[in-house]
Amino acid sequence: MQPVKRPSGLFSSYFLGGFESSTHVRRDGQRLDLIDSTGHDRFALEDYERLVSVGIRSARDAVRWHLCDRGNGIYDWSSVVPMLAAARRAGVRVVWDLLHFGWPDWIDVFAESFPARLAAFAEGFARLLSEQAEGPFLLAPVNEISFLSFAGGEEGFFNPFARARGDELKRQLVRASIAASRAIRKVLPDARLIHTDPIINIVADPERPEQRMAAELHRQSQFAAWDMIAGRREPELGGEPTLLDVIGVNYYVHNQWTHDGRVLVPSRPQHLPVRFMLREVWERYRRPMFIAETGIEDYARAGWLRYMSEEARAARALGVGLEGICLYPVVDHPGWEDDRHCPNGLWGYADSSGRRPIESEYAGELARQEDLEKRGAGATGPNEFPTEIFDRVAADLDEKTRQTRRADA
C-alpha cells in the first residue's frame, strides 16, 4: 500500500455530514427551505447527536438569509441561534453557508448593492458567532458560484432564471463572496473561508473531434470563480490570494459529460478517475481541500461511499492535501422541483419525535471507511469497484434532468 497524506485537522472528523440547505425560489414562485422541510431546524440537536453517534463530528449547515435579514441593517437570528446552541452542545464543528442559492425577496442579485448586502449579512452573522459560539470558525460565503451562474444566469432553469448572463452573474457572486469574506475577517480574523464549487470533466464525442477545444474551454471554466477570488483573473473584482483559503469540491455521478451534454457514465473509457480531478485542483491552488458534497440515491449509497473514499485515498497518495469527505446530504430531503422523496441520506425523514431511520448498509460502509482511516490505510491502485450500478443511476438522473429542463423551457 502507498502512504497517504494525512489531514491536518481543519475539521473535527475526516467524514462530515451535510444538511441540504437550499433556499432558492422555484419557477412556480415557491421558496424552498429544505432545513425546514427536513425538520432539521426543529431537530438540530438530535441530528447533530446522530452524527456524533456514528463518528462524525463536523457538519455543513446554513444560515437562511431570507429568514434573518429584515432590511435596513435589522437581523432576526431566532432561526439560527438554536442551531448554534445545538452544535455547541453536541460538540459538532459546523461549516456555515451564508448564501445557499437563496436571498431575500426584496434583494436583486444583479443590483450594484448586492455584494454590500451580503457583506452586511455576513458581518452580522460573524458578530453573532463571536458572541454565541466557540472557534475555530468555518464559513462559506457563497455556495457553488459556478453552478449558480450557469443554471441561473446562463441557461435559465434555476433562480434567478436569467439567460445569456452567466458571466455577469458569476462576477456579481464573486464580488459578493469577496465582500462577505472581508466582512467576516473584520470580525473574526482567524475565520476559515471555504469556497465550494463542482469539479467537472467535459470531453468531446470521439466521433466529433472538432469539439475538443470547446469542450476543454468549458471544462476550464470550473476554475474561473476560484481564480477570481484569488485575484488571478479579473483582479478588478477585488480578489486576493489570502481570500482563497479552503477549497470545497463537490462531486456527483453526473459531473462528467460529453460536449453534447450527455452524461459520461463511469464505465466509459473517457471517464476520468476522480483522484486526478482532485490532483488538478490541488496542483493549481495548493490550498487545503475537502470533498464538500458527494452522494447518490437509493441502493447505490454504500457503494458510492466506498468508491469515493478509495478515490480520496488515492488522491492523498498523490500528494493532495485532502482534509475530509462530506456525505451530502446526510438526511433525505424533498426534491427541488417536484417534492419527491430523495432517498440519498444516511438517515431518512424524521417522525414527530425527531427519530430518523438509518440506512443500515450505508452506515456499515461508513464504519468500514472510518476504520480504514483510523488504521491509516493506503491507496490500493486502480479503483476496481464495479461501475455498472453507477451507470444506471447516472443515466436515470440524466433523463430526469432533461425532462425537468424541457418542462421549464
Q: Residue 340 burial (CB < 10 Å; 0-12/13-18/19+)?
A: exposed
Number of independent structural domains in the chain: 1
Q: Are 311 and 275 in contact (CB under 8 A)?
A: yes
Predicted local distance difference test score (pLDDT) of residue 380 = 67
**DSSP state string for 108-141:** -TTSTTHHHHHHHHHHHHHHHHHHH--S--EEEE
Mean pLDDT of 319-348: 96
Q: How many CB atoms lie within 10 A of CB 374?
A: 10
Least confident interval from 74-83, 296-305, 308-317, 394-403: 394-403
Q: How confident is the model at residue 1 (pLDDT cuts 50, 70, 90)?
A: very low
Q: What is the distance between the alpha carbons of residues 403 and 401, in angstroms, rounded to a whole number?
A: 5
Mean pLDDT of 48-65: 98
Rounded to the nearest 5°, which phi and psi values hold at 108? -100, 115
- Does residue 285 lie within any of the structural domains? yes
C-alpha cell at 224: 474561473
Q: Which residues pair with 155 in a beta bridge?
A: 163
Decide if pLDDT at 3 tops 70. Answer: no
- Which residues contact residue 267 at a Cβ distance below 8 angstroms, ignoring those fewer than 6 apart? 387, 388, 391
Decide if pLDDT at 400 tops 50. Answer: yes
pLDDT (tens digit per residue) in 187-203: 999 999 999 999 999 99
- Does residue 1 lie within any of the structural domains? no
% of the chain surpassing 90 pLDDT? 85
Q: What CATH number should be reported for the domain holding residue 119? A: 3.20.20.80
**DSSP state string for 244-307:** --EEEEE--TTSEEETTS-B--TTSTTPPPHHHHHHHHHHHH---EEEEEE---GGGHHHHHHH
Cα 288 to chain centroid, rounded: 15
- Which residues contact residue 14 at a Cβ distance below 8 angstroms, ignoring those fewer than 6 apart? 7, 323, 324, 325, 370, 373
Domain around 128 = 15-408
- Does residue 241 lie within any of the structural domains? yes
- Does residue 113 lie within any of the structural domains? yes
Mean pLDDT of 332-342: 93
pLDDT (tens digit per residue) in 82-126: 999 999 999 999 999 999 999 999 999 999 999 999 999 999 999
Q: Are 205 and 259 in contact (CB under 8 A)?
A: yes
pLDDT (tens digit per residue) in 11-53: 999 999 999 999 999 999 999 999 999 999 999 999 999 999 9
- Does residue 10 lie within any of the structural domains? no
Decide if pLDDT at 278 tops 90. Answer: yes
Mean pLDDT of 326-346: 95
Q: How confident is the model at residue 6 (pLDDT cuts 50, 70, 90)?
A: low
Mean per-residue pLDDT of the chain = 94
- Does residue 5 lie within any of the structural domains? no
Mean pLDDT of 142-166: 97
Q: What is the distance between the alpha carbons of residues 230 and 226, in angstroms, rounded to a whole number?
A: 6
Q: What is the distance between the alpha carbons of residues 81 and 108, in angstroms, rounded to a whole number?
A: 27
Mean pLDDT of 379-404: 75
Half-sphere exposure of 126 (CA within 13 A, CB side): 24
Q: What is the distance between the alpha carbons of residues 156 and 337, in angstroms, rounded to a whole number?
A: 14
Decide if pLDDT at 62 tops 80. Answer: yes
Q: What is the distance between the alpha carbons of residues 40 and 35, in angstroms, rounded to a whole number?
A: 5
Distances (CA, A) of 318 to 14, 17, 144, 309, 378: 18, 25, 26, 14, 11
Decide if pLDDT at 283 tops 70. Answer: yes
Strands 58-62 and 246-250: unpaired
Predicted local distance difference test score (pLDDT) of residue 276 = 98
Q: What is the distance between the alpha carbons of residues 202 and 217, in angstroms, rounded to a whole number?
A: 9
Residue with cell 476504520: 371
